[in-house]
Structure 1
Amino acid sequence: MAEEKLLTVNVVTPDGSVYDEKTPMAVFRTTVGELGILPEHIPLLASLEIDEVRVKVPNTEGKFDEIVVNGGFVEFSDNVATVVANSAERKEDIDLERAERARKRAQERLKKARQEKDTDKLRRAEVSLRRAVNRLNVSKH
């Protein structure tokens, strides 16, 4: 039986490495849609949405590692996908209580920004809410 071809996925933030594993496939939500990368994919650079990176666990039937990313970009070349994000978190490291508190704070800021008709505060509150909801959604998979 032929050995499974693998690529490496690295997720890094200003605080350091969050994830570094080999995989037969990784899936990213970019600003233009979902992107699946297999070994030997052509080089690319893409902006990421606030979403999750899914990395297939080698030699399993459909099991994926999930990493929350808050935007950033993915660069792929030489069989290495490097994700650079301001913040990222592995699914198993998500603190549900903290994420729920962040969601509530963001909803309160959103409500206040709407009342004040402050578009700058509104945009920031919407991003904060998307980040908190993303963390909650991934933690519940």
Structure 2
Amino acid sequence: MAEMRVQIVAPSGVIYDHRASMVSARAIDGDISILPNHTPIILPLTIHAVRIKRISIDAEDWVAVNGGVLEVRNNVCSIVADSAERARDIDIERAFEEKHRAEESMKRLSGIKANLEYKRASISLHKALNRINVSKNKRV
């Protein structure tokens, strides 16, 4: 079976490093799936889940990625993320608290949507929802 190495790095360090048969992510232009022997490519990523089909355990891993860049070259798929968190590491209570704070900020600022604070709250909400969705795909 063909395989590639998948590495996800964030400012906090290495988040993920395993062999895989497929990676799915969301680039700014839309969803992409990467298979072994993919043509070299560099893409900017949005806030979304990255799904990785592992070789060694025949399972999928999920990582919440909050923007960054995906690069594929020589059967290595590297993601340098603004921030990233594996499903098993997500503190779901904290994610719901962040979601609630972001929603409250957006309600408070709803009359002035061009406001920078409103945009920040919207991004925070999107990140919290991404973490909540990814956390539902935890493996025991």
TM > 0.5 between the two? yes
Aligned mates of 2:127, 2:113 — CA distance in 1: 22
Q: Which amino acid aligns with 1:64?
A: E
Q: Which residue of 2 aligns with 1:22?
A: 19
Q: Which amino acid aligns with 1:21?
A: H
1:118 CA drift (Å)? 5.1
Bigger mean CA deviation after superposition, 109-118 or 64-73: 109-118
SS in 1 for 2:36: coil
TM, length-normalised to structure 2: 0.92
> 1:104-123 CA deviation, whole Å, 9 max, x = no partner?
01111111221455521111
- State the number of aligned residues: 137
Aligned mates of 1:41, 1:32 — CA distance in 2: 18
TM, length-normalised to structure 1: 0.91
Aligned mates of 2:87, 2:64 — CA distance in 1: 7
Query: 1:40 is matched with which residue: 29, 37, 40?
Result: 37
Q: Which residue of 2 aligns with 1:74?
A: 70
Note the residue ranges of structure 1 that are not aligned, 5 or more in a row: none
Aligned mates of 2:68, 2:13 — CA distance in 1: 14
Q: Identity over aligned residues, as a percent? A: 40
Alignment of 1:1-141 (within 5 A): 4-58=1-55, 63-117=59-113, 119-141=115-137
Aligned mates of 1:137, 1:41 — CA distance in 2: 28
Distance 1:42 1:113, change over 3 A: same
SS in 1 for 2:101: helix
> 1:31-89 CA deviation, whole Å, 9 max, x = no partner?
1111111111000000111001110021666x310000001110111111110111100
Higher strand share: 2
Aligned mates of 1:89, 1:9 — CA distance in 2: 15
Aligned mates of 1:140, 1:39 — CA distance in 2: 27
SS in 1 for 2:110: helix
